[in-house]
Amino acid sequence: MSKRLRSSEVCADCSGPDPSWASVNRGTFICDECCSVHRSLGRHISQVRHLKHTPWPPTLLQMVETLYNNGANSIWEHSLLDPASIMSGRRKANPQDKVHPNKAEFIRAKYQMLAFVHRLPCRDDDSVTAKDLSKQLHSSVRTGNLETCLRLLSLGAQANFFHPEKGNTPLHVASKAGQILQAELLAVYGADPGTQDSSGKTPVDYARQGGHHELAERLVEIQYELTDRLAFYLCGRKPDHKNGQHFIIPQMADSSLDLSELAKAAKKKLQSLSNHLFEELAMDVYDEVDRRETDAVWLATQNHSALVTETTVVPFLPVNPEYSSTRNQGRQKLARFNAHEFATLVIDILSDAKRRQQGSSLSGSKENVELILKTISNQHSIESQDNDQPDYDSVASDEDTDLETTASKANRQKSLDSDLSDGPVTVQEFMEVKNALVASEAKIQQLMKASRLEKQNSTPESDYDNTPNDMEPDGMGSSRKGRQRSMVWPGDGLVPDAAEPHVAPSPTLPSTEDVIRKTEQITKNIQELLRAAQENKHDSYIPCSERIHVAVTEMAALFPKKPKSDMVRTSLRLLTSSAYRLQSECKKTLPGDPGSPTDVQLVTQQVIQCAYDIAKAAKQLVTITTKENNN
């Protein structure tokens, strides 16, 4: 279900017209610029969804609309409504303010610091206050007054509070009363539909007993939201919970990883985790799925001229201060996984989640989480799992998640060679990206004027030279540092390794017009491929991929054999390797192919992903050459 905006709606943070995003847990609608700041804060602060281009459970959207229309924003801006605030110079952002620092500082104060919410009188025992608030929440959820409950939650009421006298939780009360929107709000704040009351009954049981069948079905969906989201991310399908099917385990088109000893070792380590650590890892992967999917929607919906600015990039999961440094580092490393590696991890988690529901788990250690991440992302070499140089030397502070910090830039530069993909995207989303990429010469000219590049000295040249290509045809990952490439793509000579002593670095880049012309040719061929994907014409994949490969080869030939710029080289490598991988994926649709997939949808997803990476790399080359040629 999608949202149809009314013209009267404005951004909750800057009052700009026609907001196109929602902050689900804050009950507000926000504009693109403010959304870019929300995304940089992390899901623990704000859970954003696009109002039109993200699938919504109808009652979840209704819950957010109800909160927005009933003044939820005044909860987060309570003190700003006081006339004294105007006198003191405190004000909210406005549409004309710059994103950085003006809007960003206001949004952080509003949602991260909760600087403007109504403060309760100080008491000596904060736990008593939280208990009192939770008891008020427990009684309030039987009514339809959502904003009252949101206010209580904002002050510290606990959604999973177990009432000692009543013997149940707020979700039990809301379910018994048939309050489906209250149930949605409680679930957003962490309420568990599987919790039993003192009689051993769950909220689902009470909803069914009361004849609230829609609520009961929705509570079951919420109970399986994590595994449903992971499955939908890979294959575009969800289980049929009504008929007792609670899990879908997609099959990889290339099963070679499943046969490797390292893959078996990774699964064994995953199985040995305690339930608590497994749940933490699964939640972290869920957050990474959300980051990748939101990135894809973001790219599909932005004006292309703004696509390359600092407001659009969330390169890895922002730091959650409630988590340990080790866990935050592991969460950030998930962004380094290419599409195949990440799909492998997601499938393993889905498989083990199903196993754990059906039986008991083995005990394990916290170190195994790190071993699982390393094993999945390094299928070639056991030795490199003990690499002395971690992908992320330290966890960024809250301030460092600002998208123009050095840590963020360095991560973006480092991740260019291994994974510029933003996660799988749907055909519909990619068609929108395609239309925005090279719809017309004017669009590209607009991009060229607005483009801004980060500094290129974030990563030493040796890191690039020794980094293996993560987009190789077998889909396996490799060690990021300290090792020469163990596998070579046919045609990788288009972008020679910088280690070649006989080729001198060349600062000369092709003209912007030539790069634009080749980009248009690539995009036209990608359009044909995506139309074939939309119409399920799998026999058209191979000829389309061959035409794309020819266009990519011609574009790569415009550039010098050894470009001086790291950014040019990494973009060229992504361009050429993605074109070869696209051909490899398309061949899997052949009926007689020994690697023929068991899930055509998953192969189509991989094909779309490769096309997405090609388009993204081409866009980067337009941006880079424009910047360099104008200097």
Could you tell me if 224 and 276 lie in one domain? no
Q: Is the pLDDT of residue 631 over 80?
A: no
Residue 74 is predicted with a pLDDT of 95
**What is the C-alpha separation between 350 and 231, in angstroms, rounded?**
8
Q: What pLDDT score was predicted for residue 476?
A: 27
Per the prediction, the chain carries an average pLDDT of 76
| Pairwise CA distance, residues 603 & 596, whole Å | 9
Structure tokens at 49: 């969804």
Q: Which residue has the higher pLDDT, 95 or 299?
A: 95
Q: Tens digits of per-residue pLDDT, 458-480?
A: 333 322 222 233 333 233 222 22
pLDDT category at 222 given cuts 50, 70, 90 is: very high
Question: In this structure, are 180 and 278 located in the same domain?
Answer: no
Q: Which of 155-159, 426-430, 577-581 has the highest mean pLDDT?
A: 155-159
Alpha helices in 391-498 (DSSP H): 406-418, 427-438, 441-450, 461-465
- Is omega for the bond preceding 597 within 30 degrees of 0, making it cis? no
Look at residue 458 in the predicted model and tell me its pLDDT. 37
pLDDT of residue 459: 35
Please tell me the predicted confidence (pLDDT) of residue 592: 62
Please tell me the distance from the alpha carbon of residue 249 to that of residue 226, in angstroms, as a whole number. 13
Q: Is a pLDDT exceeding 70 seen at residue 443?
A: no
pLDDT score recorded for residue 462: 28
Number of structural domains found in the chain:
4
pLDDT-based confidence at residue 190 (cuts at 50, 70, 90)? very high
Cα gap 428→187, rounded to integer Å: 29
Domain boundary among 82, 112, 142: 112
Is residue 172 within 8 A of residue 197, CB to CB? The reply is yes
Domain final residue pick, 357, 380, 404: 357
User: From CA 580, how far away is CA 489, in angstroms rounded?
Assistant: 8
Domain co-membership, 342 together with 239: no
- Name every residue whose Cβ is closer than 8 Å to that of residue 243 and which is 6 or more positions away in sequence: none
Quick one: tokens of 284? 């972290």
Residue 40: give its domain's CATH number: 1.10.220.150
Cβ burial, residue 230 (10 Å; 0-12/13-18/19+): buried
- Measured N-to-C along each axis, helices 512-534 and 541-557 cross at an angle, to the nearest 10 degrees, of 170
**Residue 416 domain-assigned (yes or no):** no
Residue 423 has pLDDT above 50, yes or no: no
Dihedrals phi, psi of 23, to nearest 5 degrees: -100, 105
Does residue 478 or residue 252 have the better pLDDT? 252
CA dihedral sign, ordered 457, 458, 461, 464: negative
Q: Look at residue 480 and tell me if it is in a domain.
A: no
Which band of pLDDT confidence, cut at 50, 70 and 90, is reported for residue 370?
low
| 89 and 132, same domain (yes or no) | no
In a domain, 463, yes or no: no
Task: Report the distance separating Cα 592 and Cα 587, nearest Å.
Answer: 10
- Which has more pLDDT, 463 or 15? 15
Are residues 210 and 317 located together in one domain of the fold? no
- Residue 307 in any domain: the answer is yes
Do 101 and 205 share a structural domain?
A: no
Report which residue type is found at 230: L
Same domain, 523 and 625: yes
448 belongs to a structural domain? no
Sign of CA dihedral 493, 497, 501, 503: positive
More confident residue, 175 or 488: 175
**Residue 423: left if φ>0, alpha if ψ -120 to 50, beta else—which one?**
left
**Can you give the pLDDT at residue 299?**
77
Domain end (from 357, 382, 399): 357
H helix or E strand, kind and range, residue 133: helix 126-140
pLDDT at 144 over 60: yes
The residues, ordered by sequence, that sit 6+ positions from 261 with a Cβ below 8 Å of its Cβ are none
Do residues 27 and 69 share a domain?
A: yes
Same domain assignment for residues 271 and 347: yes
164-189 average pLDDT score: 97
Q: What is the pLDDT of residue 142?
A: 96
- Residue 29's DSSP bridge partners are 22
Range with the poorest average pLDDT among 192-201, 299-308, 567-576: 299-308
| pLDDT at residue number 403 | 30
Which residue has better confidence, 121 or 92? 92
| Residue 194 clears pLDDT 80, i.e. is over it | yes
- pLDDT at position 39 is 95
Low-confidence winner among 271-280, 425-434, 466-475, 581-590 (lowest mean pLDDT) = 466-475
User: What CATH number is given to the structural domain containing 522?
Assistant: 1.20.120.330
Angle between helices 600-630 and 541-557 (to 10 degrees): 20
CA distance 53 to 35: 14
* 30 backbone dihedrals φ, ψ, rounded to 5°: -140, 155
Pair 482, 389: CB distance under 8 Å: yes
Q: Containing domain of residue 151, as a range?
A: 127-243
> Would you say residue 274 lies in a domain?
yes
Question: Rounded to whole angstroms, how far apart are CA atoms 376 and 262?
Answer: 8
Q: Would residue 204 count as lying in a domain?
A: yes
Position 586 pLDDT exceeds 80: yes
Write the DSSP assignment of 526-572 as a string of letters. HHHHHHHHHTT-GGGHHHHHHHHHHHHHHHHHTS-SSBS-HHHHHHH
167 dihedral zone (left: phi>0; alpha: psi -120 to 50; beta):
left
Q: Which helix (H) or strand (E) holds 514?
A: helix 512-534
Residue at 345 is within a domain = yes
- Bin 513: left if φ > 0, else alpha if -120 < ψ < 50, else beta: alpha
Question: Pick the residue with more confidence: 4 or 249?
Answer: 249
Model confidence pLDDT, tens digit, residues 270-320? 888 888 999 999 999 999 999 999 988 887 777 654 444 545 668 899 999
Residues 271 and 350 in one domain: yes
pLDDT score at 406: 35
